Amino acid sequence: MSTGWIVFIVLLAILVAVFVVLYFLGKKAQKKQEDQQAQIEANKQTVTMLVIDKKKMRIKDSGLPQAVMDQTPKLLRRSKLPIVKAKVGPQILSLVADEKIFDQIPVKKEIKAQVSGIYIVGFRGAHGIIRNPEGTKKKSRFRKWVDNMQTRAGAKQVK
């Protein structure tokens, strides 16, 4: 056999070993994530809060307790988290929101949020329905005037 074939076989064996290791690590991580999700669901409570501000910021700038920063892995300390500052009762707290709902949380409104520790899992409006901010852009006064003039003239509306 030539040395080219030997090198090819060794590289193929290394690639197979890497894929096997990644497969088992992925299974382990998936099981761990499912356990964490079950724990979050078991501990969630409904809390009424007034959302003051929301931003994506680093953990050290977020105002979260020092214990949270100490428990965070070193690799994740530089990543940005969706942080929500809210008034819960008499206290102003910094909470971490789920990525899926962060964009939909209204600012300067009262909401009923499902909270597990310092993690906001879900929410709904405290006084009625909260509209999705995407697609509900306010029209300017000029745009309303133009639309009104077009309807009077019988022109087709373009969206």
In a domain, 54, yes or no: yes
* pLDDT level of residue 59 (50, 70, 90 thresholds): confident
Task: Name beta bridge partners: 45.
Answer: 115
Across the range 81-93, mean pLDDT stands at: 92
Nearest to 116 by CA among 57, 59, 42, 48: 42
Domain extent at residue 88: 42-125
pLDDT at position 82 over 90: yes
Whether 115 maps to a domain, the answer reads: yes
Residue 67: CATH number of its domain: 2.40.50
> pLDDT tens for residues 110-133?
999 999 988 999 998 877 666 655
Task: Give the pLDDT of residue 148.
Answer: 85
Residue 118 lies in a domain: yes
pTM attached to this predicted model: 0.63
| φ and ψ of 10, to 5 deg | -65, -45
In-domain check, residue 85: yes
159 pLDDT more than 80: no
Q: Is residue 58 a part of any domain in this protein?
A: yes
What is the predicted pLDDT for the residue at 21? 96
Q: Within a domain: residue 86? A: yes
Q: What is the average pLDDT across 36-60?
A: 90
CA-wise closest residue to 68 among 83, 55, 90: 83
* Number of Cβ atoms within 10 Å of the Cβ of 19: 9
Asked whether residue 59 is assigned to any structural domain, the reply reads yes
The H-assigned helical ranges of 44-131 are 59-62, 66-71, 99-102
Residue 136 has pLDDT above 70, yes or no: no
| DSSP secondary structure, 11-33, as one string | HHHHHHHHHHHHHHHHHHHHHHH
**Total domains present in the chain:** 1
Residue 145 CA to residue 139 CA, distance in Å, equals 10
Asked if the structure places residue 138 within a domain, the reply is no
